[in-house]
Amino acid sequence: MYVDAAHLAKLEFHARGLSFIAPPPVSSVLSGSHASRLRGRGLNFEEIRAYLPGDDVRHIDWKVSLRLGKPQIRAYTEERDRPLLVVVDQRMNMFFGSRRAFKSVVAAEVAALAVWMGFTAGDRVGGVLFNDSRIVRVRPLRSRSRIKVLFGALAGMNNALHADSEARTDYAQLNAALEGVLQLAGHDYLICIISDFAGANERTQRLLRQLSAHNDVVAAMIFDPLWQHMPEHRALVVSEGRLQVELRIEQERVRAPLSSLFSGRTAEVAELLRTSGVPLMALSTAEPTVGQVRRLLGQRARPAAGSGL
């Protein structure tokens, strides 16, 4: 039901072999058209020098070449690192799960995997964490102590979620968090947004486009399969805070509209993300998190006995 900082730290081992940065294989969710492919690290201009066999002809500086009478290229070096930001939703709407884990837990695990992937690649890591009342920013830094701070803040938000809480989902917090990311991220950041995207609207789409104009952005949409395949022969009790409602979903007139509503909403969010040019990773609460991430990134699953992740 909950995570702690120690659990998130242990995911470092499970993140080995995973990368947002390496050229993805055909089976990866990050493969495809230029609109959905991650750009990778940026390039720093190094010098203009004489062309050598094997150099990329696209880097030939034609003006300098014409002036000197022989081909010259603009040499670049890859940036040593780029900042990674995980944007993690821990609102009350995430405090739900019908199978293995709550959406809030899966979101925290995906965030931890992303952090370790970035850190292993030599990048600075930070985050923007939000619930219904707070937005916490952790500036990127390549430091295990910074990761400890990030995981501590994330676990704190996760453990603050309770069924008897008087808090209600603040749907405006999603856009508020993204606006905070815009203020924190300059350019050439890798931004991983992890949420069920409750409250996403046209403003969300505009913010995603702004972010992806100068950064790489990936969306991890967390969902629970109950809304896709509702049980037919029992009632369902749902709660948000102190209010509890029993849904008689064994009745077709109750189950069908609910199923249509939630499947339709999922499709709306997916379309919104698609038209934003942001790659979408859909992760279920019913399956181990690590296996899903490996499959979505085109990596072979690595056995980890008894991990349950």
**pLDDT tens across the length of the chain (309 residues):** 899 999 999 999 999 888 875 444 555 666 544 334 556 555 666 678 898 887 778 888 899 889 899 999 887 665 556 899 999 999 999 998 887 899 999 999 999 999 999 999 889 999 999 999 999 999 999 999 999 999 999 999 999 998 777 778 899 999 999 999 999 998 889 999 999 999 999 999 999 999 999 899 999 999 988 765 555 555 544 444 444 444 444 444 444 444 444 555 777 888 888 888 888 888 999 999 999 999 888 754 444 444 556
Please give the model's pTM, rounded to 2 decimal places.
Answer: 0.75
Q: Please say whether the dihedral angle defined by the alpha carbons of residues 108, 110, 111 and 113, taken in this order, is positive or negative.
A: positive
| Count of helix runs (H) and strand runs (E) in the chain | 8, 10
Q: Residue 245: what pLDDT? A: 46
Could you state, in order of their start, the residue ranges of all structural domains in the chain?
A: 5-34+82-296, 43-78
pLDDT of res. 103: 96
The architecture that CATH gives domain 5-34+82-296 is: 3-Layer(aba) Sandwich (3.40)
> Are 21 and 40 within 8 A, CB to CB?
yes
Q: What is the pLDDT of residue 301?
A: 43
Assign 3-class secondary structure to 38-97.
CCCCCEEEEEEEECCCCCCHHHECHHHHHHHCCCEEEEEEECCCCCEEEEEECCHHHCCC
How confident is the model at residue 45, as a pLDDT?
66
Farthest CA pair distance, the chain:
82
Give residue 195's pLDDT.
Answer: 96
* pLDDT at 41 (0 to 100): 57
